[in-house]
Structure formats: C-alpha cells, structure tokens
C-alpha cells in the first residue's frame, strides 16, 4: 500500500556492481517506502538476481559505485549477517539443503541472532517451539518439516514455503523475494503468496523479483520497475505488468530509448 509521507526503508542511488570483473549493475536507482510492494521485472540477464544478491551482500559481488541506504544506514559497509540481523531478508531462488541440521535448530539459531541484535533475550527451545508452530499456519506447513534436515529432500514448493516460514519468524523490514514463483505449481504459488501477503504490513516493504506476471496476480505490487542491462529503464503502476505480459519486453526497450 502507498502511504503518504511514510518512512523511506531503502534508497538505492546510482548503484554499480560487478562480478568477476564484469559489470552487471550500471547505475540503478530505487526508493522503497514503508508499506510498499515493489516488483522488479525484466528479461533474463538484465541483472535482477544480481541486484537482490548485492542488496543482501553476497561476497562474489563487488559494489564499484553508488550507495544503498537502508533505514538511514549505509548497507555496503556491513557484512551480510549484519544486514540480515538489521532486517534485510532474501528469499532464495534455490534454497540450499543442509544435511544433518534440523530445520527447527536452524530456525531457532537464525531467530535468536535477530533477537540478540535487537537487544532482546534469546528464546529457549520450548518457547521457540511454541512460536514456530504458530508461524507454520501462515505457510500451511506440516510440523513434521521441523524435525527434518533443512530443505533436505523437500520438494520445490516445500523449500519455498520454508523460505517464507523463515521470513515469518525473522519479521524483516525489507523482504526480497528472488524468483519465488519459479518451479511452483498453482497451489504452492497460492499458499506461498498467501503467506507473504499476511506478512506484509504498513511498517515493512517488499521487493518482488520475477520474470513473469503470474506471481503479481497474487502479490499485488504498488510499483513495477523494468530492468534492462543493469538499470531500471521504466517504472510504473501495477498495470504495467499486464502490458508487459501482452507486449513483451521489446516494447519497453524502444519506449525507453525514445524517452532518452
């Protein structure tokens, strides 16, 4: 939802970044305020996923210019675990499997590291167990998943639900969903999107990265940005997604060039 004069959560200015010496982001600008849902669309290779990893601080990517201000704080200077603890959450496109580590333990350690950062007392195993069971409802997950190893043997849909469960526990200020819809059937998509919508409120913000318009039927954005060659070339209201679906990306490209 768009709220008048709400707090700026994320402000990205002239962001340039490279991986292995190849420049991927070439001057990206974006401002996200509390309560808002932004969608970032664009063809493969346009830099969408890179942008999400740069925000989260993946060590393979080097920021060469520009700034990322998150709640008044310069993100570039702080390591990924600190970014996460301050409220930046990335739902991975391909969540990793961690054999032998129980999902419940993993969730508790993650949750407590955020609590500690906020100056709150860590929850013990019993209290945490209660809390996590409430959160399971949000993504309609079975409690049996808690005792299994993190993502091990999970289906694509189960992995994505597990990501949203982590989001529900960590209550981020800014959640970035990286191609969360990829590989999901319609039922899984609905429950994942349903979970995300329940978690979205006027004090947090959502950055939805997707190739297809399909997900945006369920998570309705306030703004849509189209990325091309490492920058945002067009921004507009949610209706832009439909137009893209109908006319493809070429049209935006031409439009953008004319605009320049």
Partner 1 sequence: MSATVKTLVNQPYKYGFVTNIEADTIPRGLNEDVIRLISHKKNEPAFMLEFRLKAYRQWLKMAEPTWPNVNYPAINYQDIIYYSAPKQKAKKNSLEEVDPTLLETFEKLGIPLSEQKRLSNVAVDAIFDSVSVATTFKEKLAKEGIIFCSFSEAVHEHPELIKKYLGSVVPVGDNFFAALNAAVFSDGSFVYIPKNTKCPMDLSTYFRINTGDSGQFERTLIVAEEGSSVTYLEGCTAPMFDTNQLHAAVVELVALDNAEIKYSTVQNWYAGDENGKGGIYNFVTKRGLCQGVNSKISWTQVETGSAITWKYPSCVLVGDNSVGEFYSVALTNHMQQADTGTKMVHIGKNTRSTIISKGISAGRSKNSYRGLVKMGAKAKGARNYSQCDSMLIGDRAQANTFPYIQVQNNSAKVEHEASTSKIGEDQLFFFAQRGISAEDAISMTISGFCKDVFNKLPMEFAVEADRLLSLKLEGTVG
Q: State how far the Cα of 105 lies from the Cα of 149, in Å rounded to an integer.
A: 9
Contacts with partner 1 in 158-177 (CB under 8 A)? Answer: 166, 170
Among 17, 68, 75, 90, binds partner 1 (CB under 8 A): 90
Nearest 10 degrees: Cα torsion 91, 96, 101, 103: 30
Structure-token match 């819809």, residue found: 181
How many CA within 13 A on the CB side of residue 100? 0
Interaction residues for partner 1, span 20-49 (CB under 8 A): none
Q: Quick check: 149 binds partner 1 (CB under 8 A)?
A: yes
Task: In angstroms, give the least distance from the CB of 99 to partner 1.
Answer: 6
Number of chain positions touching partner 1 (CB under 8 A): 29
Q: Which is nearer to partner 1, 45 or 79 (CB)?
A: 79
> Of 93-101, 130-138, 204-212, 228-236, which part binds partner 1 (CB under 8 A)?
93-101
Binds partner 1 by CB under 8 A, chosen from 47, 57, 66, 221: 57
The contacts of residue 115 (CB under 8 Å, 6+ apart) are 121, 122, 123
Pick between residue 3 and residue 109 the one whose CB is nearest to partner 1: 109
11 lies in the site for partner 1, by CB under 8 A: no
Told to check if 196 binds partner 1 by CB under 8 A, we report no
Q: Does 114 bind partner 1 (CB under 8 A)?
A: yes
* Secondary structure E strands in 60-216: 61-70, 73-74, 88-91, 98-102, 149-150, 174-178, 205-209
The separation between the first and the last C-alpha atoms of the chain, rounded to the nearest angstrom, is 30
**Are the C-beta atoms of 55 and 74 separated by less than 8 Å?**
no
Query: How many of the other CB atoms lie within 10 Å of CB of 14?
Result: 13
217 to 256, contacts with partner 1 by CB under 8 A? none
Binding region for partner 1 (CB under 8 A) out of 30-38, 104-112, 133-141, 204-212: 104-112
Closer of 80 and 157 to partner 1 (Cβ): 80
**CB nearer to partner 1: pick between 102 and 235:** 102
| Shortest distance, position 136 Cβ to partner 1, whole Å | 17
- Rounded CA separation 168/2 (Å): 22
Nearer to partner 1, 59 or 259 (CB): 59
Length of the chain, please?
Answer: 260
């Amino acid at each position: 939802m768009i709220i008048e004069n709400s707090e700026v959560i994320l402000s990205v200015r002239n962001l340039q970044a490279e991986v292995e010496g190849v420049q991927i982001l070439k001057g990206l600008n974006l401002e996200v305020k509390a309560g808002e849902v932004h969608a970032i669309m664009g063809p493969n290779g346009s830099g969408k996923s890179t942008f999400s990893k740069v925000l989260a601080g993946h060590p393979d990517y080097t920021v060469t210019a520009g700034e990322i201000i998150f709640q008044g704080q310069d993100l570039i200077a702080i390591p990924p675990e600190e970014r996460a603890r301050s409220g930046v959450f990335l739902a991975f496109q391909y969540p990793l499997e961690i054999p032998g580590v129980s999902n419940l333990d993993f969730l508790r350690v993650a949750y407590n590291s955020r609590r500690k950062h906020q100056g709150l007392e860590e929850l013990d195993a019993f209290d945490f167990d209660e809390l996590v069971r409430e959160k399971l409802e949000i993504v309609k997950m079975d409690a049996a998943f808690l005792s299994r190893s993190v993502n091990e043997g999970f289906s694509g849909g189960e992995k994505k639900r597990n990501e949203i469960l982590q989001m529900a526990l960590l209550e981020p200020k800014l959640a970035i969903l990286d191609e969360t819809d990829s590989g999901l059937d319609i039922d899984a998509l609905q429950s994942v999107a349903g979970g995300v919508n329940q978690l979205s409120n006027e004090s947090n913000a959502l950055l939805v990265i997707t190739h297809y318009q399909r997900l945006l039927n369920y998570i309705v954005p306030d703004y849509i940005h189209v990325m091309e060659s490492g920058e945002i070339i067009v921004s507009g209201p949610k209706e832009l997604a439909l137009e893209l679906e109908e006319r493809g990306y070429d049209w935006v490209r031409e439009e953008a060039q004319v605009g320049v």
